[in-house]
Chains A and B, each alone.
Chain A
Amino acid sequence: MNITEAKRILLLYRPGTADAEDPQIAEALALAKMEPELARWLEVHCARQYVIGDKFRQITVPAGLKEQIISEQAAADKTRFWRPKYALAMMAALVLLLGLLALFWLPKPVQDDTLVIYQKQMVDVALRGYGMDLTTTDPEKIRSHLAQNSAPANYALTAALQQTAVAGCAIEGWQNAKVSMICFRTGKPLPPGTQSDLWLFVVDRANLAVSTISETPQFSKVNRLTTAMWAKGDKIYLLGSEGDEQTIRQYL
C-alpha cells in the first residue's frame, strides 16, 4: 500500500469509531505511523472530518417533535376504528353478536317428546299390571284377535321374536288409536302374579305423529324396563323388558 492508496482508504476513516477495525483502514493507519507525510495529512483530514461531522450533529431537533409524534399516533389509534377495514371488522363482530343473541333469544324448536310419552305410557302398562284380552300360546290366534278388534295385526316379528313363546295379547289405547300389545315369555322364572316378561307394542305409524323415527332400533331405559324402538313399514314397534340393552338385543 502506498501513500496515495492509504489516503483514498483513510478518506472514510472516522476517529473514535469502529472504522479502525476495518482491515484496510487498519493497514492504512499503520502506514500513517511510519510515514510522516501521511500522518500530517491524516491529522488535518481527521480534524476536517470532525468539524464537518460536528455540523451534522449540531442539527437541532425542533421542540415538541417527540410529543407531536406520540400524540398524533395516539389520535390515529383512536380514529383507526373508523377506517374501512376496522369498521368492516366491527360490523362482522356485530353481526356475529346479533347471531349469537338470536340463537339465545329466538324461540327454540319445540322438542318432539311424543315418542317419550308413548314409551313411558306403554312401559307403565307393562309394569303396573294389565289384563290380557287373550291368553294363548298361539301367535296366529293373537294376530287374528287383534285384527278382529281393529288393532294393528299385520306386524312383522323379528326372527328372534318369532321363536319366542307368546303368552297372549291386549289392546291398549294411545290418543284414540289402538296399540297392539303382544306378551312374550322369555323362559326365565316369572315373578309371582305375572304372566309375561317381554312385551311388544305395535302402533300404526299414522297414529303416532312423530317427525322422524329411525328404522334402526333406538335403546333407552324407561323406569325398570329397557326398551328398543324402531319403525318398519307403516308400523312403529316398541319392545320392552327388564334387563339391560343386551337382553333386548337378542330379540331384535
Chain B
Amino acid sequence: MPEDMKFESLVERYYAPLYQFAFSLTRVEADACDLTQQTFTIWAMKGHQLRDDSKVKTWLFTTLHREFLNSRRRQTRFPHLDLDAAAAELPVVSPAAINRLDTTRVLEMLGQVDEIFQAPVALFYLQDYSYNEMAEILGVPLGTVKSRLARGIGQLQQMLARDITAGQPPTNL
C-alpha cells in the first residue's frame, strides 16, 4: 500500500475537510465528529476494495454523506421554513451584513434550507470540490447538482436576508 494511502496519512489529509462537511450538515460538533470517525472506520474495513487511489477523496466524502443520510432517516427532521422553491431574484443583502453573522448562524440558516440542497451547498461553499466531484459524492448527475445548487444557494441567501432584515432596527418610528 502506498504511503499516502495508509490510514494515518489519509486521516491527516482529510479529517479536517470531512469534519467541516459533516458539521455543515449536522451543525452539532459531536455528530460531526461521529460522522468523521465513522467514515474512517468504514474506510478501514472497506477501503482496500477501492482500486483507484485518485478516488479516495470522493470515496470518503460519498461515504460520509451516505452515513449522514442514514443517520437522518433515524432522526426527527429538523424544522425548516417553507421557502420559494426557485429563487429567481435573489434578495439584496450586502456582503458586509453577512460578514457580521457568525459561522454558527450561517449554518443554522443552511439547516433550514431544504434538506436535499444542504449537502451540495456545503460542498459548494467549502470550495474544494468541482461540480463533477460533487456529482460523484452525492451520486447524482452533474445537471442535478447544478440545479440543486442554484435552488439551495437561493434559499440560503433568502434565509440570510430575512435574518439580517429581522435583526435591523426599525427605520420608521
**A residues within 8 Å of B by Cβ?**
8, 11-12, 14, 17-19, 22, 44, 47-59, 61-62, 65-66, 68-70, 72-73, 76-77
Contacts and interface: CB of A to CB of B under 8 A. Distances in A.
Contact of A17 (B44, B127, B160): B127
Given A17-B127, A53-B126, A76 B41 contact: yes
A61 B15 contact: yes
A19 B98 CA distance: 23
Contacts of A50: 95
B169 to A, nearest CB: 22
Interface in B77-122: 90, 93-95, 98-99, 101-103, 106-107, 122
A73 B156 CA distance: 37
B107 to A, nearest CB: 8
Interface in B27-46: 29, 33, 36-37, 40-41, 44
B8 A48 contact: no
B61 interface: no
B160 to A, nearest CB: 8
B171 to A, nearest CB: 22
Interface in B1-41: 7-8, 11-12, 15-16, 19-20, 23-24, 29, 33, 36-37, 40-41
Given A52-B125, A70-B8, 5 more contacts: A12-B131, A12-B153, A55-B101, A57-B126, A59-B20
A12 B124 contact: yes
B146 interface: yes
10 contacts: A12-B131, A12-B153, A51-B98, A55-B106, A56-B20, A56-B106, A59-B24, A69-B40, A72-B37, A76-B44
Contacts of A47: 95
Contact of B95 (A12, A19, A48, A56): A48
Given A11-B153, A70-B11, A52 B98 contact: yes
A56 B153 contact: no
- Measured as residues with beta carbon below 8 angstroms from the partner, the interface class of chain B is 35 or more
A236 B107 CA distance: 98
B15 A56 contact: no
B29 A56 contact: no
A65 B36 contact: yes
A47 B97 CA distance: 11
B130 interface: yes
A25 to B, nearest CB: 10
Main secondary structure of the interface of B (DSSP, over half): helix
Given A12-B153, A76-B44, A68 B106 contact: no
Contacts of B44: 73, 76-77
Main secondary structure of the interface of A (DSSP, over half): helix
B40 A73 contact: yes
A81 to B, nearest CB: 14
B138 interface: no
B150 interface: yes
Interface in B140-166: 146, 149-150, 153-154, 156-157, 160
A11 B154 contact: yes
A61 B36 CA distance: 11
Contacts of A66: 11-12, 15
Nearest 8 A/B pairs, CB to CB: A47-B95, A55-B106, A56-B125, A53-B125, A59-B20, A55-B103, A48-B95, A51-B95
Contacts of B101: 55
A18 B130 contact: yes
Nearest to A18: B130
A56 B103 contact: yes
A70 B102 CA distance: 31
A73 B8 CA distance: 10
